[in-house]
Structure 1
C-alpha cells in the first residue's frame, strides 16, 4: 500500500501530499532517476501502473503454487493439525532417520510398528498403525482414504469442496495423532489403540464443524455432514 503512494508521486497525482513531496524532496528532479535517502521507503513502478496485487506477485517472484495448500489451509482443519501438517509438508519433523543422519546412535526402527526404518513417508503413509487409524475413521464415518505417499496426495478426491475439506481434516487429524502417539510411545512405551485414536479425531473434527455452521451449505452437504 505504501507502493501505491509512490505510484501517485510518479504520476504526479493531484494531491497536497504529492505536491509536498515534489516540492520538498524531488525539487524538479526526474522521479525515475531520483536516488532516495537511506531512510526512505523502497518503491516499485510497473509499466501498466501500480497495484498492490501486482507488487505482491513481483515480490514473490511468480513462484508456483504449492501442491498441498488446499489440503492444509482450509477452514475445516483443526488449527493445531494444520500446523503439524505444514511441518510434515516441509519435512521439518525430527524422525528417527534424521537423527541417524545427525550422527545419533539410536534404533532406526519405527516406534509404532517396528517393521521398517522410521521416516516421514513411512510413519504417516506406510506404517500399519497409521493405516489402521485411517481404516478405523473410514469405518466410523464412511470416508475413503486413498493410498498416499506425501501430504499433497492425502486428501480424498471427488465430492464437493466441503466434503473434500472435511475428509482432509480427518486425514490431518490422523497425522497429528499418529505423531502424538509416536512421541508417547518414545517416552512412556505405550500407545492408544487405533480405534480409540480414530474416535478422538472424529470428535475433534466434529467440534470444528460446529464452529463453521454459519457457512452457507447446500442440502446435500448438510446431509453428508449429519
Structure 2
C-alpha cells in the first residue's frame, strides 16, 4: 500500500542526509563560502547537519507533530548514531507501520530542507 509512496525527490534528499552530504551552512563554510551561519529555522544556533535535524527547536516541533500523527511515540534521537538506529528500527520491514514511517521520514526531511531553503533563497 505505501511502498515507494514518498516522492523521488524526498527519497533522494533523505539519502543525501543519511550520507551526511546535505549542503548545510557548516559544510559550505568548509568550502570557503562566506555565509550567515545562524539557523534560519530557529535563529538561535549556528546551522549544522546535527543541529538542523537533531537539535533545532523548530525541527523538533515538526518531528513531534508528524510522529504523533502516525502514532509513533518513540523518543526522538539526540545523536547521529541514535538517528540512524531510530530510522532503521522504525523503518525495518514491510509492515504498514514501517512503510508509513519511511514515507513520513523522507517527506519530513524533504519538507524541512525545502522550508530552510525558502527562508534562505
What band does the TM-score fall into relative to the shorter chain?
0.7 to 0.9
Residue number in structure 1 paired with 2:70: 141
Q: How does 1:92-131 map to 2 (within 5 A)?
A: 92-131=21-60
Q: Cα distance 1:183–1:121, how it changes in 2: closer, same or farther (>3 A)?
A: same
Residue number in structure 2 paired with 1:182: 116
> What value does the CA root-mean-square deviation take over the aligned residues?
2.4
Conserved? CA contact 2:40–2:116, under 8 Å: yes
Residues in 2 aligned to 1:175 and 1:131: alpha-carbon distance in whole angstroms = 12
Normalising by structure 1, what TM-score? 0.45
Residue number in structure 2 paired with 1:81: 10
Residue number in structure 2 paired with 1:153: 85
- Indicate the structure whose relative CO is greater, using CA pairs within 8 Å and at least 6 residues apart: 2
Q: Which has the higher helix share?
A: 2
Q: Cα distance 1:186–1:164, how it changes in 2: closer, same or farther (>3 A)?
A: same
**Larger Cα Rg: Structure 1 or Structure 2?**
1
Aligned length: 114
SS where residue 111 of structure 1 aligns?
A: coil
Q: Cα distance 1:82–1:160, how it changes in 2: closer, same or farther (>3 A)?
A: closer
Unpaired stretches in structure 2, ≥5 consecutive residues? none
Conserved? CA contact 1:77–1:165, under 8 Å: no
